[in-house]
Structure 1
Amino acid sequence: MVAKISIGSSLYGALAYNAQKVNADEGKLLATNKVFDGGDGQMDCTRLLRDFCNCMPENVRTRNTVIHVSLNPHPDDRLTDMEMANIAQIYMERLGYGNQPYVIVKHEDIDRHHVHIVSVNVDEKGKRIDRDFLFRRSERIRKELEREFNLHPAERKRNEIREAAHTVNIDKGDVKKQIASVLLSATTRYCFQSMGEYRALLSLYNIHVEETRGKVGRREYHGLVYSTTGDKGNKVGNPFKASLFGKSASYAAIEKRFSLSKKQIAEKKFTEPTKRAVLQTLGETYHRAKFVNLLKAKGIDTVLRLTDEGRIYGATFIDHRTGCVLNGSRMGKELSANALQEHFTLPYADEKPIPFTLHPEETVQKEFIIQDDNENPSFGLGILNPSSQAVNAEEEDSIRKMKRRKKRKGKGRTM
């Protein structure tokens, strides 16, 4: 379970955000404390705001009076509404907010159901609630609740590969909700530096994004439109404007994400582990399909853009281990589209290696020759040289005898 805490000053904004989820059937009001609950499952922001304000003096010195907490269980933790409410109430009690007014709202707009808690940092006497070491205490309480309720721990194991969103399936219905879930994951978990890399990431989940430009009166606009795609990448269903998914999916937010990602990738050197893995895999095979499968097993998805003739004109690698999306050319010329195309189109790329065998009729019988001390040391090695001719043993014996005779005659003349 992950616990996130935000401190702010807009109480109405925090309540309205959660009320919007509840009243749009994308959330549930699970429990309240010291504030009104009509029992109809709806949230009356005006009434709730009045009740919250009645629990603290009109004039308080504390500037940031609002605390907004989200508790996010692991996707594999299947909790009932009662269990979620119970966990949230225990969390607030141990954090020191048990006597404070608060509302607990379950969000169901994405597959990973979670709860939001809205409360205030000032008690009825205007005294500020103890916020010293707030985040440290929250971390301790979170771990205690994981053990007590047998929940999955929040810490991410090293090299753990887990996708945070599911591929959009138009047959399941509520396509807007499915796209919203993917966009939330993509814009928070991954780093990408261009619209092409963002588009490649979304293509893994059957989503296509395209830019729209226009002019309304004298004002120019630049936006994004999201569509679902079929198995072959063709657009299906109705497109959705980015404004339907909130500011985080807008063109301005995605553009800011580019510059932020660039900084994070440079500081944390995310490019290096991805590049090493891709180069190592390239060295293992010349088969394109096998290359893609080997990388996928390592936690890296490969998106290849192909012409109608099947030629690679673009390659993007999505490393789920680091949460980084990188075009091949960004990692070096050896991973550019042209380099990959050349690698996968070599003459022997689609052939199996031919084992080396030496047939019996091609073998050569070797004769080992004992060399004389006075002979040239390299003479006997000629038999191992394919260009040399075989030497008859009788001829060698005759040559040695002639050399001995010449030596004896030379000695006799000297005397």
Structure 2
Amino acid sequence: MVAKISVGNSLYGSLVYNGEKINKEKGKVLATNKIYNDGSGTINIHRAFEDFKMWMPQSTKAEKPMMHISLNPHPDDRLSDAEYAQLAHEYMEKMGFADMPYLIVKHEDIDRHHIHIVALRVRPDGTAISTKNNFYKSKEITRELEKKYGLHSAERQKVTPDMPINKVDPNGDVKRQVAMAVKLVGMRYKFQTLGEYNAVLSLYNIRCEEADGRYNGREYHGLVYFAMDDDGKTISTPLKASRLGKFAGREAVDQRYQNAKEKIDVRPTKRKVAAVMAQSSGKDDFIARLKTENIDLVLRYTDDGRIYGATYIDHNTRTVLNGSRLGKEFSANALEKWFNNPAEKPIVQTHSNTKDNGTAPDNSQHQYQHQGGDSQSDGTASDNQSNRHGHTAQSTSAQSQSHGYDDTSMFEGLGGLFSVGPAFDAQEEAFYREMQRRKKKKRRGPKL
């Protein structure tokens, strides 16, 4: 529970502020102390003001005779009106206001219900209740009340990437839950499109949509978030990204797309998905086996039930990948055919050693490696080409041995194309030695 305390001299202004909440049916009087209360939940501002004045001394040295307090329990704490009133009375007693006049009003204008307390801090003899160390005193009292009544701690928590991400609970503070989940997903996962972003958000009952248009003659491009239930039905009003935080905005999400392109390596995920696919008998078996490997498969369907999207969420590498990024055999079309006809099970090739950052695979190179062929067997490749494609050549050599090609004589006369490491270039070596000589001469300085 968080308490916010302010002192001032406008008692009437505080009463009007709370009275307006009540008049708009967004608040109610829960209880009073030494102030008239008719039990209706409403307030007569003028009557309340006169009651407070009765307790005011004729003269006082206090420049700020009144105090306005708001008590904010954790959003997940659902308290009854009686419990709110009891909590407020106990808080005021521990703060030293048991004998002072005060008014307790519950505010219901936002999802997170809370209470406001308007109180006098000047005693009838003109002395004032001290506000020294109010912050620390109030904090100790709120912690004590949390323990006593089993309430959640409402202190701000430091968000770290290893914190658990929870599904949205419709009975809790929806906005806060959506904000927390969106922030953690952005910190933790790598994705490159809105579809991939939505796939991982859907695990926590959240959907994101682009909001483009014009307002007052200005073009805007933003994002809007929605909370959903387990059936995918929307359960909240749209939440603008600006209400959640900068981390949820278009600019931040677009930046994550760009950063992911440099970091994503599909190979670990592809190997696991391919191995699971080879062992699976159909849709349900495939999805279940993927889960045992800590990979979620999110499928999207047309109105007539056809799969049009497939996204793999690898919680091991924290990577989100559309099926087509792994290869056509993992795409929505391939899965649709397989799930409807077991004979259409995709043929998976898993031995590509090329790093893939999420772009479309190079089919020609993949085929070359699979067949153990030699795309440069005519011997016309230059030394620079040999160096540039050295890793491909080594991979091919290793594959030829695995296929039983132990006779290396077939590669003789290719100018060291398949040797380990870069080929020797006499001119390049001479240039390198000359540059080293010049650097040494420069360090020694000119001769005098």
Contact 2:246 2:252 in 1 (8 A): no
Partner of 1:291: 197
CA drift at 1:142: 0.3
Show the 5 A alignment for 1:82-121: 82-121=82-121
Partner of 2:60: 60
Task: Name the CA distance, whole Å, in 1 between partners of 2:141 and 2:244.
Answer: 28
Task: Name the CA distance, whole Å, in 1 between partners of 2:187 and 2:25.
Answer: 47
Find the residue that maps to 2:94 and give its secondary structure.
Answer: helix
Q: 1:6 to 1:166 in 2, by over 3 A?
A: farther
Of the structure 1 ranges 100-109 and 358-367, higher mean CA displacement relative to structure 2 is found in 358-367
Task: Name the CA distance, whole Å, in 2 between partners of 1:345 and 1:145.
Answer: 49
CA drift at 1:61: 2.5
Show the 5 A alignment for 1:359-370: 365-367=404-406
CA RMSD of aligned residues (A): 4.9
Task: Name the CA distance, whole Å, in 2 between partners of 1:48 and 1:64.
Answer: 19
Of the structure 1 ranges 354-363 and 68-77, higher mean CA displacement relative to structure 2 is found in 354-363
Out of 348, 355, 372, which is 2:349 matched to? 355
Segments of 5+ residues of structure 2 without an aligned counterpart are 214-219, 225-240, 260-320, 331-347, 352-369, 374-398, 419-448
Partner of 1:281: 191
Partner of 2:31: 31
Find the residue that maps to 1:60 and give its secondary structure.
Answer: coil
The one-letter code matched in structure 2 to 1:293 is A
Q: 1:305 to 1:11 in 2, by over 3 A?
A: closer
Partner of 1:130: 130
Show the 5 A alignment for 1:186-201: none
Partner of 1:328: 251
Higher-Rg structure is: 1
Task: Name the CA distance, whole Å, in 2 between partners of 1:314 and 1:349.
Answer: 30
CA drift at 1:102: 0.2
Task: Name the CA distance, whole Å, in 2 between partners of 1:7 and 1:142.
Answer: 19
The one-letter code matched in structure 2 to 1:84 is Y
The one-letter code matched in structure 1 to 2:30 is L
Contact 1:299 1:320 in 2 (8 A): no
Partner of 1:411: none
**Are 2:210 and 1:304 equivalent residues in the alignment?**
yes
**Are 2:52 and 1:142 equivalent residues in the alignment?**
no
Partner of 1:69: 69
Partner of 1:44: 44
Count of paired positions: 266
Task: Name the CA distance, whole Å, in 1 between partners of 2:327 and 2:243.
Answer: 29
Of the structure 1 ranges 323-332 and 31-40, higher mean CA displacement relative to structure 2 is found in 323-332
CA drift at 1:60: 2.6
Contact 1:107 1:115 in 2 (8 A): yes
Q: Deviations over 1:295-348 (max 9, x none)?
A: 6669997443579xxxxx956494998664433279759759xxxxxxx99996
Contact 1:96 1:130 in 2 (8 A): no
Find the residue that maps to 2:48 and give its secondary structure.
Answer: helix
Contact 1:162 1:320 in 2 (8 A): no
Q: 1:164 to 1:53 in 2, by over 3 A?
A: farther
The one-letter code matched in structure 2 to 1:53 is K
Task: Name the CA distance, whole Å, in 2 between partners of 1:120 and 1:26.
Answer: 24
CA drift at 1:127: 0.7
Contact 1:146 1:153 in 2 (8 A): yes
Find the residue that maps to 1:99 and give its secondary structure.
Answer: coil
Segments of 5+ residues of structure 1 without an aligned counterpart are 168-180, 191-203, 205-269, 308-312, 337-343, 370-378, 389-415
Partner of 2:279: none
The normalised TM-score by structure 1 is 0.51
The one-letter code matched in structure 2 to 1:69 is I
The one-letter code matched in structure 2 to 1:327 is R
CA drift at 1:387: 9.3
Q: Deviations over 1:241-296 (max 9, x none)?
A: xxxxxxxxxxxxxxxxxxxxxxxxxxxxx9xx998657x333xxxx6422332366
Task: Name the CA distance, whole Å, in 1 between partners of 2:35 and 2:168.
Answer: 35
Contact 1:300 1:320 in 2 (8 A): no
Contact 2:28 2:41 in 1 (8 A): yes
Partner of 1:382: 412
Find the residue that maps to 1:75 and give its secondary structure.
Answer: coil
Task: Name the CA distance, whole Å, in 2 between partners of 1:63 and 1:162.
Answer: 49
Task: Name the CA distance, whole Å, in 1 between partners of 2:108 and 2:325.
Answer: 53
